Structure 1
Amino acid sequence: MSGSVRHFKLVLLGDTAVGKSCLVVRFVRDEFFEFQEPTIGAAFLTQSVQLDSSVVKFEIWDTAGQERYRSLAPMYYRGASAAIVVFDLSNKESYNGAKSWVKAYAEENNILYLETSAKNAANVKNLFVEIAKKLPQQAMQQEREQGFTISPPKQEKKSCC
């Protein structure tokens, strides 16, 4: 891997047992397990994506979806560069609840919306590559907007006594 390395925090959000951990394990280790132990609190994994001239290193927080851990979610997604909302297409309640508002919001705000499958690996790598492409662009735009000021050095006043 050559070029610059950019670090970005990602967080996976969604109800319990929708496949958040399966998605991350598929991306990081290229493995899939029919039964995945529920995440307690959150799990942390890293994985890099090589782009043309740089490397994007993801710091991935896989959050627990159980109701009792929901109050912890803000602690994990604070400072995240991107959030991946995960839902289970085979679970109508999970699918309908998340898809309708996420898709509408994504369309209104020009945000990536992509359906994936950890089980058959459909769009898993593409999801992270697309995020990797967008994040450096956003970071560069923010740096341009914030800018910086160049001012002459302050001259010291000298006294003789």
Structure 2
Amino acid sequence: MSTIADIEQLCIKVVLLGQSGAGKSSLVLRFVQDKFYANTAETVGAAFLTKVLELDETTQLKYEIWDTAGQERFRSLAPMYYRNAHAALIVFDVTSRDSYEKAKGWINEFKEKSETSDGKVIMFVANKTDLDRRIVETSEIQKFCEENGLYPFETSAKDGTNVHTLFTEIGQKIPRNTISTKSSTPRMPPMKPAKKCSC
């Protein structure tokens, strides 16, 4: 049996990008707290949350998660939060064509403005799959991801579908030689995290 001293903790930095209203904050809160708030306040600037998962008997993964604001006026601030990120979750609302199309723009921006694309994992996350009024179909999402080298994923922050699996797969897909045992997150506070996004 491993002792505390034998356990290695690896830190991975994950950033969530996407239009306001896509459900980014709800997705993170479902993962970190296993809770869903129907009226989550809009994120201003970015919110920072962490969660530790057991990878195996000797290894832990510490997720350092930046939940960025989706409003256009905060878009220029996003690069400071996804610098050195190991993975990006590009989140969109499957009931909104506009949310889907704007998510594509976040992909290009992350690829262009990240310091390096080596080993980075980009998950294209279709959220709110619990709703009946779906507009963006699975086949369209899969085709786009195949053409652009992305990992498609469908989730519901409301009922928890695939949320834990999503973050687990992120940890599995990131190359181990790109992960440090030290935090890659700069010690700077988010501008004004939404009250319900604190942990």
TM-score by length of 2: 0.63
Residue 37 (1) aligns with residue 41 (2): yes
Q: Distance in 2 between matches of 1:126 and 1:12?
A: 16
Shift of 1:106: 3.9
Q: How many residues align?
A: 141
Q: 1:129 pairs with 168, 172, 177, which one?
A: 168
Looking at structure 1, the residues matched to 179 and 50 of structure 2 have their Cα atoms a distance apart, in angstroms, of: 24
- Moved runs in structure 1, 4+ residues, more than 2 A? 95-112, 139-143
Select which of 56, 59, 74 maps to 1:54: 59
Note closer, same or farther for the CA distance 1:79–1:98 as it changes in structure 2 (3 Å cut): same
1:1-161 equivalent positions in 2, closer than 5 A: 3-52=7-56, 53-98=58-103, 106-108=145-147, 111-135=150-174, 138-140=175-177
3-state DSSP of counterpart to 2:153: coil
Q: Select between 111-120 and 69-78 the one with higher mean Cα deviation.
A: 111-120
2:10–2:179 Cα contact (<8 Å) kept: no
1:60-102 CA-to-partner distances (Å, cap 9, x unmatched) read 0000000100000111111100000010111122134437975
Alpha-carbon RMSD across the aligned residues, in angstroms, is 2.6
Q: How many Å apart are 1:39 and its aligned residue?
A: 0.3
Aligned 8 A contact 1:49 1:132 in 2: no
Tell me which structure has the larger Cα radius of gyration.
1
How big is the shift at 1:104?
5.3
Unaligned runs of 5+ residues in structure 1 are: 144-161
Contact 2:19/2:102 (CA < 8 Å) preserved in 1?
A: no
Larger deviation, residues 8-17 vs 99-108:
99-108
Partner AA of 2:91 in structure 1: V
- In structure 2, stretches of 5+ residues that fail to align are 108-123, 125-141, 181-199
**1:117 alignment partner AA:** S
CA 1:142–1:13 in 2, change beyond 3 Å: closer, same or farther?
Answer: closer
2:92 maps to a residue whose letter is: F
Contact 1:16–1:66 (Cα < 8 Å) also in 2: yes
Question: Do 2:19 and 2:71's aligned partners in 1 also have CA atoms closer than 8 Å?
Answer: yes
Higher strand share: 2
CA distance in 2, matches of 1:74, 1:116: 25
